[in-house]
C-alpha cells in the first residue's frame, strides 16, 4: 500500500513550504511532466530565510521499496563525496559509487568545494539518449532522444562551486515518460532521498507540536523521515531528512495513433484499416501542422515542387502524400498519413485536422505561400538572365551567377536545398499572423530580392551616363528604378538596348516610378518598428490595401505585399525583355 507521505508527516501540510510539499507528493502519470531528479538548492526565500534542498533519486527494486528508512545520502544529496584513498596499485578496483547500494538517476559528486553532475550512464545508454552542452560559461547539459526525435528528455547544470555560498543552484529534471520507462525496465521505483531546511514563522500550531519545548525531534524507528524543529533567532528552524518513493514502477499511458477519430471518416482509424485504403479516405490539415517542423533545424521541411509538403527527419521517417490545397490547407490520404513513422507525429497531425465543413468553406484555388515564393524566385531568375543580356549589349559583361546568388541550374536540379532562405520565406503564414511575424517575413522577403547584385546595376547605370557619384550612393530599389526608367524611355522612343549606352546623363533616370513602388513599400516595412502600428499601416494604405481587417491578423497583408513585389518584378522583366527583343 503506497504511503501517504503528506498525511504521515508530523507537521500539517498547510504549514509546510511549497518546495517541501512538492518533495513529499508522489509523481503522477502525465508523460510530459518534467520530474525533478536531483537538486542542490540554497537561496534566501522571502518568509523562509535560507531555504535549502539537497536531493537525489535512487533506483530501488520494487520489492525493496518498503522499509527503506532514511538513506545515508539524504544529507548531502550526493552519490559520492571526495575520491577514493589510493594506497597501492589496484586499491580502488572495487570502487562502485551508489546510493546505499542502489543505482541512481543523476551521478552527483562533490568534495565540499566543487560539485559535478551528469545523467547516469545506465540511464542514457538504456534509453538511447544523446547529449549536448549549452550555456557558454553557465554550462547546462541536455539529453535528447534523436531517434524520434524528442528534445530535452533530461537536463541540468553540469557543475557548481561552494565558497561560503553556492555559485549557483543545480537542478536536474527528466521527462516523466522516459524516467518511468527506465524504472519499469529495471523493475524499480524512484526514491527521492533529500535534506530540506527553512526558517518558519513562529505560530501556535507549531508551538503545540513542540509541547512547550524549544526543540522538537521526530525520528520514528525504521521510519522514512527525521524532522528537527528548533528555536533559532526568533523563528523556528525546520530541518528534514527523508526518503520518499515518489515514482511507482508504472509506465505513463501509451499514446498511440490507433483509434483516432478523423474528421470526415466515419469510424476510428487504425494502422491496419488505413493501410487497406488504396483509394479515397482523404483528410485535411491546417498548414500550421508544418510549424513544428519549420521551426526546428533537425527536421527537413523544405516545400516541394507543385505544392507538396512532406516533413522528414534525418532519413529515419517522412510524411508522404501531403499536398497544399488553397491558402492554408493540406490534403493527405489517410493511408499515406499512417505509413511508418512515430505515432507522436500522427498525433501531431491529428491536432491540426480540419472538419469537412471548414474545408468546403475555403477557396481551394487560392494561392499558398510556397507558390508565391516560387513565383518570386522565377521572376528573380528571369531578371538575372535579362540583366546579363542587357549588360552584354552595353559593354558591361557579367556572369549570371555574379548577378544573382540563386542558380537556375541548381534549383532545377535540387530545388531549394542549397537556399534555406527560400524555405524560410515560404514558411506557414496563417491568416491570423501576428504583426511581428508579418514584419519579420517582410524582412526575409526584402533580403531575398536584395540578392540581386547592386554592383552590376550600378555599372549598367554608369554605362548609360548616370553620374557615378550619385549612383554609388543608391540602394537596390532605387538602382532598379533607375534601370526601369531608362528602359521605359527607350520603349517610348522605340530604340533598342544599344542606345542605352551614353556619355551624357539621361533625363528622368531618378524619377519616381509607381510600377516599382512595392519595392519601396517592402523596404519601409522591413525597417518599421514592430510597436508602432501607424508606421506599418501607412505604407499599406498608400498602396491601396484595406487595413480594416488587420485586427484579425496580418495574413492578407502579407499576401498583398508578396503579390505587389512579384508584380513589380514582372513589370521590370516585361519591359526589359521587350527592349532586348526589339
pLDDT of residue 536: 60
Q: Which range has the top average pLDDT, 73-82, 128-137, 206-215, 240-249?
A: 240-249
Sign of CA dihedral 379, 563, 320, 301: positive
DSSP per-residue codes, 376-429:
HHHHHHHHHHHHHHHHHHTT----HHHHBSS-HHHHHHHTTTT-HHHHHHTS--
Assess whether pLDDT exceeds 60 at residue 55: yes
Q: Say whether 433 sits in a helix, a strand or coil.
A: coil
Assess whether pLDDT exceeds 50 at residue 530: no
Assess whether pLDDT exceeds 50 at residue 524: yes
Burial 396-407 (b: 16+ CB within 10 A, else e): bebebeebbbbb
pLDDT by residue (tens digit) across 328-381?
A: 999 999 999 999 999 999 999 999 999 999 999 999 999 999 999 999 999 999
pTM here? 0.84
pLDDT by residue (tens digit) across 11-38?
A: 999 999 999 999 999 999 999 999 999 9
Question: Percent of the chain scored above 90 by pLDDT?
Answer: 77
Distance, CA of 478 to CA of 402 (rounded, Å): 20
Assess whether pLDDT exceeds 80 at residue 582: no
Distance, CA of 359 to CA of 556 (rounded, Å): 19
Mean residue pLDDT of the chain comes to: 93
With left for phi above 0 and alpha for psi between -120 and 50, is residue 164 left, alpha or beta? left
Assess whether pLDDT exceeds 60 at residue 533: no
Assess whether pLDDT exceeds 60 at residue 146: yes
Assess whether pLDDT exceeds 60 at residue 529: no
Question: Percent of the chain scored above 70 by pLDDT?
Answer: 98
pLDDT by residue (tens digit) across 75-88?
A: 999 999 888 888 88
Cα separation values, 69 from 73, 79, 80, 171, Å = 12, 17, 20, 24
Distance, CA of 557 to CA of 570 (rounded, Å): 20
Q: Which of 368-372, 469-473, 511-515, 546-550 has the weakest average pLDDT? A: 546-550
Give the model's confidence band at 535: pLDDT under 50 very low, under 70 low, under 90 confident, else very high. low
418 vs 546, more confident: 418
492 vs 149, more confident: 149
Distance of CA 117 to the CA centre of its chain: 26
Distance, CA of 540 to CA of 445 (rounded, Å): 16
The pLDDT of 413-435, averaged and rounded, is: 96
Contact indicator for 423, 374 with CB cutoff of 8 Å = no
161 vs 532, more confident: 161
Sign of CA dihedral 317, 126, 159, 93: negative
C-alpha cell at 259: 483509434
Assess whether pLDDT exceeds 90 at residue 221: no
Nearest of 261, 280, 278, 281 to residue 269 by alpha carbon: 261
Contact indicator for 417, 494 with CB cutoff of 8 Å = no
Q: What are phi and psi of 263, to 5 degrees?
A: -55, 130
Q: Say whether 231 sits in a helix, a strand or coil.
A: strand
Give the model's confidence band at 93: pLDDT under 50 very low, under 70 low, under 90 confident, else very high. confident
Assess whether pLDDT exceeds 60 at residue 531: no
DSSP per-residue codes, 70-139:
--GGGTT--SEES-----STTTTTT----BTTBEESEEEEE-SSEEEEEE-HHHHHHHT-EEEEESTTS-
- Taking the CA atoms of residue 92, residue 94, residue 97 and residue 99 in that order, the dihedral angle to the nearest 10 degrees is -140
Residue 254 is given by DSSP the state P
pLDDT of residue 283: 97
Kindly report the three-state secondary structure assignment for every residue of 437-484. Answer: HHHHHHHHHHHHHCCECHHHHHHHHHHCCCCHHHHHCCCHHHHHHHHH
Amino acid at each position: 500500500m503506497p504511503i501517504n507521505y503528506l498525511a504521515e508527516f508530523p507537521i500539517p501540510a498547510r504549514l509546510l513550504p511549497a518546495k517541501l510539499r512538492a518533495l513529499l507528493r508522489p509523481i503522477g502519470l502525465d508523460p510530459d511532466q518534467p520530474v525533478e531528479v536531483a537538486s542542490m538548492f540554497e537561496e534566501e526565500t522571502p518568509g523562509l530565510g535560507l531555504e535549502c534542498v539537497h536531493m537525489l533519486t535512487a533506483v530501488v527494486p520494487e520489492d525493496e521499496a518498503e522499509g527503506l528508512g532514511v538513506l545515508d545520502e539524504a544529507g548531502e544529496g550526493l552519490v559520492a563525496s571526495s575520491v577514493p584513498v589510493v594506497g597501492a596499485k589496484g586499491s580502488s578496483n572495487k570502487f562502485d559509487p551508489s546510493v546505499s547500494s542502489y543505482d541512481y538517476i543523476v551521478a552527483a559528486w562533490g568534495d565540499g568545494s566543487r560539485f559535478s553532475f551528469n545523467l547516469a550512464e545506465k540511464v542514457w545508454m538504456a534509453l538511447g539518449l544523446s547529449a549536448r552542452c549549452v550555456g557558454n560559461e553557465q554550462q547546462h547539459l541536455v539529453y535528447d532522444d534523436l531517434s524520434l526525435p524528442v528534445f530535452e528528455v533530461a537536463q541540468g547544470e553540469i557543475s557548481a562551486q561552494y565558497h561560503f555560498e553556492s555559485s549557483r543552484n543545480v537542478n536536474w529534471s527528466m521527462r516523466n515518460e522516459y524516467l518511468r520507462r527506465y524504472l519499469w525496465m529495471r523493475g524499480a521505483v524512484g526514491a527521492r532521498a533529500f535534506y530540506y531546511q527553512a526558517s518558519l514563522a513562529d505560530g501556535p500550531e507549531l508551538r503545540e507540536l513542540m509541547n512547550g519545548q524549544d526543540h522538537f525531534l521526530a525520528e520514528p524507528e525504521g521510519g522514512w523521515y527525521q524532522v528537527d524543529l528548533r528555536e533559532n533567532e526568533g523563528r523556528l528552524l525546520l530541518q528534514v531528512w527523508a526518503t520518499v518513493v515518489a515514482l511507482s514502477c508504472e509506465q505513463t499511458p501509451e499514446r498511440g495513433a490507433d483509434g483516432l477519430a478523423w474528421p470526415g471518416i466515419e469510424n476510428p482509424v487504425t494502422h491496419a484499416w488505413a493501410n487497406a485504403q488504396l483509394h479515397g479516405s482523404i483528410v485535411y490539415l491546417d498548414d500550421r501542422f508544418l510549424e513544428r517542423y519549420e521551426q526546428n533545424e533537425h527536421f527537413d521541411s523544405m516545400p516541394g515542387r507543385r505544392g507538396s509538403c512532406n516533413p522528414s527527419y534525418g532519413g529515419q521517417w517522412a510524411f508522404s502524400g501531403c499536398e497544399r490545397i488553397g491558402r492554408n490547407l493540406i490534403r493527405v490520404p489517410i493511408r499515406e498519413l499512417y505509413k511508418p513513422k512515430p505515432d507522436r507525429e500522427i498525433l501531431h497531425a491529428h491536432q491540426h485536422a480540419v472538419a469537412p465543413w471548414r474545408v468546403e468553406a475555403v477557396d481551394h484555388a487560392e494561392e499558398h505561400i510556397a507558390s508565391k515564393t516560387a513565383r518570386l524566385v522565377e521572376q528573380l531568375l528571369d531578371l538575372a538572365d535579362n540583366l546579363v543580356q542587357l549588360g552584354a549589349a552595353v559593354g558591361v559583361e557579367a556572369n549570371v551567377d555574379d548577378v544573382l546568388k540563386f542558380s537556375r541550374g541548381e534549383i532545377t536540379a535540387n530545388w531549394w536545398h542549397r537556399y534555406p532562405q527560400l524555405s524560410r520565406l515560404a514558411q506557414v503564414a496563417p491568416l491570423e499572423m501576428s504583426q511581428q511575424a508579418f514584419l519579420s517575413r517582410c524582412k526575409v522577403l526584402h533580403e531575398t530580392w536584395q540578392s540581386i547584385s547592386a554592383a552590376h546595376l550600378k555599372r549598367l547605370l554608369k554605362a548609360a551616363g548616370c553620374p557615378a557619384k550619385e549612383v554609388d550612393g543608391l540602394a537596390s530599389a532605387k538602382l532598379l528604378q533607375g534601370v526601369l526608367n531608362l528602359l521605359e524611355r527607350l520603349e517610348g522612343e522605340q530604340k533598342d538596348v544599344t542606345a542605352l549606352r551614353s556619355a551624357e546623363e539621361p533625363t528622368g533616370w531618378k524619377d519616381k516610378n509607381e510600377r516599382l513602388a512595392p519595392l519601396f513599400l517592402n523596404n519601409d516595412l522591413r525597417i518599421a518598428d514592430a510597436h508602432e502600428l501607424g508606421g506599418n499601416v501607412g505604407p499599406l494604405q498608400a498602396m491601396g490595401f484595406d487595413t480594416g481587417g488587420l485586427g484579425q491578423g496580418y495574413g492578407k497583408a502579407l499576401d498583398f505585399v508578396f503579390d505587389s513585389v512579384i508584380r513589380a518584378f514582372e513589370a521590370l522583366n516585361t519591359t526589359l525583355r521587350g527592349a532586348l527583343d526589339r
